[in-house]
Amino acid sequence: MRTLLLALSILGVSCASEKGLTVYNSDPNVTIFSPADGSEHISGEVVTFMARIGDDRDDPAALVRIWSSDVQGQFADLSAVSAMGDVEWSTASLDLGDHLISLQVVDADGLTSTDTVGVSVVLESGDDTGGAGPGVDQDGDGYDSTVDCDDLDSQIHPGAEEYPYDGVDQDCDGEDLTDQDGDGHDAVVAGGDDCEDTDAGIFPGAEEFCDDADNDCDGTVDEPDAVGCATWWLDADSDGYGSDTTACLCGPSGDYTADNNDDCLDSDPEVNPGHTDFEVSASVDGVWDWDCNGVIEQQWTDVGRCEGTLFCEVTVGWLDAIPACGTLHSWVVGCSGGTCSESSVSRTQACR
């Protein structure tokens, strides 16, 4: 018999070495052991729940703990856990009535386990009015029912922190907080028209500033003529030189990108103060002042001729007269022998 068991053991190890060992991860364990199932508790009284949790891999403190009620939903986890897995959680916020309190634990692999306990929250014994009388503080928040607008919720009482836009009057001032910045306009999320309810300077009708914000809630950020704007000139041909058309803007925008109005023809990117070449034809709009200096400059202005008796001397230049811009004319380049007459080539007058 021992021989057979030894053989089977060897066979098992051999198979494990070939296939690899399989390591299993079990669900975490959780047990609520206090209070007793079905126990009764006075409204506003602190109820302490005790449980023990554990896992075959994770430390108890690493397990996620989720406390919830089938009536009120999930609570914030303020429980403490020991190294041995003992958990203690207390609350005084349970509403009147029966609750099924559950503790769910989740390990690092997402495996979960849940345990539950039933408790009942009742009014103080001897009170058969079906509700709290004047001067009773049911939720234990220090404010009785004469001033507490919801004496069944310890988070609601005069002076409590008000949470905006949740439809709940936490501080018992008669309304929910819908105008958080106090500028007289309710937030958009609360049905109002304030597009930024945390800044009292932002609301419909507010003055617009150059600050990367939509101060007046009109859907446009840093619109023209906002406070702090500067003059920008229209540069329709994108040559870096603007026309006389301006806009007061928070920065260059659209075609308003020039910081000057030095362009004399904003429909042609070749016509601007930076143009240095002489041209033999006018611009597309018939302009000869290519460099926008207000003066039409001719490239060649000398008049050519041949003169002399014994010796014929030549002056290089235009024959007879200086032609207009873009005009093809004769250009004197030399003189003939015995007659001292001009010899020339054709040239077009260039201008800028």
At 3-13, the pLDDT tens digits run: 433 333 333 43
Q: Judge whether 15 lies within some domain.
A: no
What integer pLDDT is reported at residue 1 of this predicted model? 41
Report d(CA 231, CA 234) in Å as an integer.
10
Q: Judge whether 201 lies within some domain.
A: no
**Together in a domain, 140 and 94:** no
What integer pLDDT is reported at residue 18 of this predicted model? 42
pLDDT digits (tens, 9 = 90+) for 52-77: 999 999 999 998 999 999 999 999 88
**b/e 47-59 (16+ beta carbons within 10 angstroms → b):** bebbbbbbbeebe
Compute the C-alpha angle 241/273/242, nearest 5°: 15
Q: Judge whether 132 lies within some domain.
A: yes
Q: How many domains does the chain have?
A: 3
The domain boundary, picked from 62, 94, 122, lies at 122
Q: Judge whether 10 lies within some domain.
A: no
Q: Judge whether 137 lies within some domain.
A: yes
**Together in a domain, 135 and 109:** no
What integer pLDDT is reported at residue 220 of this predicted model? 96
The alpha carbon dihedral of 256, 258, 264, 265 has a sign of negative
Q: Judge whether 225 lies within some domain.
A: no
What integer pLDDT is reported at residue 304 of this predicted model? 95
Its pTM surpasses 0.85: no
H helix intervals, the chain: 2-19
What integer pLDDT is reported at residue 134 of this predicted model? 64
- Which residues of the chain carry a pLDDT beneath 70? 1-23, 125-134
What integer pLDDT is reported at residue 163 of this predicted model? 93
What integer pLDDT is reported at residue 309 of this predicted model? 75
325: alpha, beta or left? (left if phi > 0; alpha if psi -120 to 50): beta
What integer pLDDT is reported at residue 16 of this predicted model? 40
**Together in a domain, 153 and 107:** no
What integer pLDDT is reported at residue 5 of this predicted model? 35
Residue 91 phi, psi dihedral angles, 5° rounding: -155, 145
Residue span of the structural domain in which 339 resides: 303-348
What integer pLDDT is reported at residue 208 of this predicted model? 97
